[in-house]
Amino acid sequence: MSQTPRRLYIFTGKGGVGKTTLSKAFVHYLKTLNHEVIYLTFKNQSLSENHDERNSDREINGIREVYLDLEECAKGYIERRLNSSMIAGWIVKTPFFRALVNMIPGFNYLIYLGKILELGKENPNLIVVLDAPASGHALTMVESTTNFQHIFESGVIFEDTHKMLSRLNDPNYTKIHVISLASQMSWQEAIELKSGIQERSPVEVNITVNNCLWSLVDQNLSDLPAGLKLKALNEKDLIQEHETEMLCVLPHSLEPFSQGIEMELVGSLSKLI
């Protein structure tokens, strides 16, 4: 398996599976390999009147965290195209533009993806680890550029979406990690999400099982309360049945805080490259 990092890693999955902690741990892991890397996520999914209209870019616990604001990203895109900050600021405030972004599925993700690729263009050495929206939203994000390329058959938006597609669909540029828990319901959703993404994109998509109790206590099952023992045995059955479909299985952490969990995970993430 190649250990050459991609430029964009997308972490997605059902809510509550540990995407944020795992994606930040992966940033820490890439930093141990001396790569320039940022953790990135989206602040909002729609344009509203009451929100902080700034991208947040800060360093926390040794990693650079970037929280993108939809309106700021839209304004930046229009400003680059029209070469006017004043006109861009006016356009994003108009009711028509706000309704357009909020009503058309995937328009918000098109704006965000454009900003992510711009960051990569500005810094050819930068690796972006995207803590992406959960499941169904992730499918909308992946297919948004294709949809808009079909809508706009020529012109600036067509050219821009074509550039996005060439990057997002490049297996050497993008890799997607679907995160699951070791439960039947979470696993089934992860399988469906992986299949849906693969229908829309040729990039590599893998499933990582997170927060697994069985791999932590498999030698001491008899010491567990009945409920935890049953949970561990159900996890064991699931993993043994589907192990060949799992990229890796990460054990439950006994660390009380997210920073401790992130650092504990670092040594187990080499397969995610």
User: What is the value of pTM for the model shown?
Assistant: 0.91
Which residue in this structure is represented by tokens 């360093």? Answer: 59
**Out of 19-23, 78-82, 153-157, 234-238, which region has the weakest mean confidence (pLDDT)?**
153-157
Residues 80 and 117 sit within 8 Å (Cβ to Cβ): no
**Which band of pLDDT confidence, cut at 50, 70 and 90, is reported for residue 217?**
confident
pLDDT of residue 153: 66
Residues 55 and 72 sit within 8 Å (Cβ to Cβ): yes
d(C-alpha 119, C-alpha 58), whole Å: 15
All domains of the chain in start order, with CATH: 8-272 (3.40.50.300)
Count of H helices and E strands in the chain?
Answer: 11, 8
pLDDT of residue 1: 42
**Out of 149-163, 169-183, 210-224, which region has the weakest mean confidence (pLDDT)?**
149-163
| pLDDT at residue 9 tops 90 | yes
d(C-alpha 253, C-alpha 232), whole Å: 14
pLDDT of 14-60, one tens digit each? 889 999 999 999 999 999 999 999 999 998 888 876 666 677 899 99
